[in-house]
Structure 1
Amino acid sequence: MSDSINIVVRFALYFDLMLLFGLAIFGLYSLRGKERLSGTVLNFESLLYTASVLGVVLSLVAMCVLAKAMSGVSGFMELHHHIFQMVIMGTDVGLTWMVRIAALVMAIIGVTLNRRLPTVSLWVVTASAAVALATLAWTGHGAMDEGSRRSWHFISDILHLLAAGGWLGALAAFALLLRLKSLKGEQEARILARVLTGFESAGAVIVVTISITGVVNYLFIVGPNLDEIMLSTYGQLLFLKVLLFSGMIVLAFLNRFHLSPLLARSIETGDYSVAINALRRSMIVEFSTAVIILCLVAWLGTLSPEMEMNSM
């Protein structure tokens, strides 16, 4: 039961903080000037405020789960302030937890600037969310390493998290832009076509970063070992994750080379409903796949491949 709670909380934190970072940075590289004002293209105020506050709440829940696991108490009601003090002040994961809370508070402050300074607001939220998301690296396998290996593992983990957050946020933004009430006319359709085309460069960087850091992380955690690991739960879940990620890349190529150009051509003819519907279906599948991958990531973070292989 405790493992299940841990996995659910981990998933929720990954999902929330990746959305916070991904949506904020999407507004910077895809939208221009007044388009970054909340309500013009995306409702940044409600989206980013909700994600920031939820991030704080989930972080508090995660700390309770961690404190219970580290103290060995049988129930959450047995947790006392001295246990939290020991975990927060006496461990690296506790210190990074405080950094995350501070970063999320800064993100909330940044959201309040959107009406007056939308670009500054998005920069503040992006930077704060990047810090908050990066702290999740200390809850993964990298925390088990030592010395320079630990540092390089953290760097790889952080880049992996940020790239994944950028992709998830972009998918969420596209899904919001593809809603029926968001596409009020040709102007909104043209904005959608432009941001889809503009995502090509960012998308390429994201895919390359995720791929390289994914391989690096695998080598840090397991090493150049394929035979034994595939017999473990960790290896099977990891294989499924890679398979789903490959599917997302195929869908991304479909969007890039077929659906996005189709939308651009359809706008010129005035009938873009077919292209919009095709994009909606593609985004639903791609976003759903991303959510499943995050579930697997949350589960993988609770497993020890080394212990599984040693027990074989």
Structure 2
Amino acid sequence: MLEVAVIALRWLQYSGAVVLLGAPLFLLYSFRGADGPNLGWARPTLIVAAIVIALGSLAALVAQTAVMAGSLSEAVKPASLSFMVTGTALGMAMVVRAVVAVLGLVVVVATKPGRLLWGLTTLAGLIVAASFAWTGHGAATEGPGGLLHLAADIIHAVAAALWLGALAALTTLLLCRAAPDDVAIHRALHGFAGLGTLAVGVLVVTGLVNSWFLVGPARIGDLGASLYGQLLIGKLVLFALMLIFAAGNRFRLTPELGSVLAGGADPRQALQRLRRSVVTETLVGAILLAVVAVMGTLAPPSAL
């Protein structure tokens, strides 16, 4: 039961982190502050993301301590929690994550929507996303390759948050009940395509580096023999599926919307097709995060 709680809390923290980093960055480069369409959802969304990260991190600290101590009653003792925070990188990372999330929450509540708010919350999200390297496998590698693995894991987490968070923001924008500014949405889609391509390229490179350390070339043939390997295969399948949707959005649906707008025709059907594709891609991304949450609790093939 505790292991299930750890996995669920990991997924919640991942979800909050991608929103706290990717969503404000999407707004920052897409709409020049608060002049974009239907941005009333932005502040409440960032507030929820910050709260989820803060509470999720603290709850995960207790749950992880309980796993290590053997029981929840032992985990809530000050001595156990103190050791977890001061004696392990895992515990310290969770505390840092919670503190940064609380600071981000204060910023969101105290600052008006605009470029300053988007920039500050992006910074908070960047720190939160990077902290996952110390609660996963990235910080466990010893020896001369340890620093490279840690750096790759940090960059991988940040790139994933950029892509998935921006995708979540775009999904929210397309699902807004108020009538959208179609031209602004088209402009945002073009901006998202550039950032998405960069994020995907970084994810591929850093993913290969991480796989080198966690799996190793000699174990590729036996990848399906372990649960970690099976989940890694599933993660790659989900990633490929997201790429298919992303390519369709960029090279077919977004240009189609541009042509409709340029011709002065009704864009509702083009927007509906885009909306379905983007929502589906976002749901696949949420499932992918769940797979990653499980993988983070398992020993990789290189450790067996």
Normalised by the length of structure 2, the TM-score is: 0.93
Distance in 1 (CA, whole Å) between partners of 2:176 and 2:47 is 24
Q: RMSD in angstroms over aligned alpha carbons? A: 1.9
2:280 maps to what in 1? Answer: 285
Q: Would the alpha carbon gap of residues 59 and 78 (structure 1) be closer, same or farther in structure 2, given more than 3 Å must change?
A: closer
Indicate if the aligned counterparts of 1:59 and 1:97 stay in contact, CA closer than 8 A: yes
Question: Does 105-114 or 224-233 show the bigger shift?
Answer: 105-114
Q: Aligned runs of 1:2-81 on 2, under 5 Å?
A: 2-35=2-35, 40-73=38-71, 75-76=72-73, 79-81=76-78
Q: Which amino acid aligns with 1:65?
A: A
Structure 2: how far apart are the matches of 1:18 and 1:260? Answer: 23
TM-score by length of 1: 0.91
Q: Which residue in the other structure is 1:243 paired with?
A: 237
1:267 maps to 2:264: no
Distance, in Å, in 2 between the alignment partners of 1:7 and 1:33 is 36
Tell me the CA shift for residue 150 of structure 1: 2.2
1:274 Cα offset (Å): 1.0
Distance 1:266 1:55, change over 3 A: same
Distance in 2 of aligned mates of 1:284 and 1:33? 24
Matched, 1:302 2:297: yes
Where in structure 1 do 4 or more consecutive aligned residues deviate above 4 Å?
none
Deviation at residue 123 of structure 1 after TM alignment: 1.2
Identity level (%): 32
In structure 2, the CA distance between the partners of 1:179 and 1:40, relative to structure 1 (3 Å rule), is closer
CA distance in 2, matches of 1:304, 1:239: 15
Asked whether the equivalents of residues 64 and 76 of structure 1 are also in contact (C-alpha less than 8 Å), the reply is no
How far apart are 1:76 and its partner, in Å?
4.2
Matched residues in 1 for 2:287 and 2:144: separation? Answer: 32
- The reply on whether 1:231 has 2:228 as its aligned counterpart is no
The letter for the 2-side match of 1:132 is V
Letter in 1 for 2:171: A
Please tell me whether the aligned partners of residues 200 and 256 of structure 1 are also in contact (alpha carbons under 8 angstroms): yes
Q: Deviations over 1:140-192 (max 9, x none)?
A: 1123212442222121111111111111111111111112514x15xx11111
Structure 1 SS opposite 2:138: helix
Query: Using a 3 Å threshold, how does the CA distance of structure 1 residues 221 and 288 change in structure 2: closer, same or farther?
Result: same
Q: Answer with 196-205 or 299-308: which moved more.
A: 299-308
Counterpart of 1:299 in structure 2: which amino acid?
A: V
SS of equivalent to 1:112: helix
Change beyond 3 A, Cα 1:78–1:23: closer
CA distance in 1 between counterparts of 2:235 and 2:16 reads 19
1:69-116: CA deviations, max 9, x gaps? 12223x34763111111111111122222221221122122213432x
Determine the structure 2 residue equivalent to 1:129: 125
Q: Which runs of 5+ in 1 are unaligned?
A: none
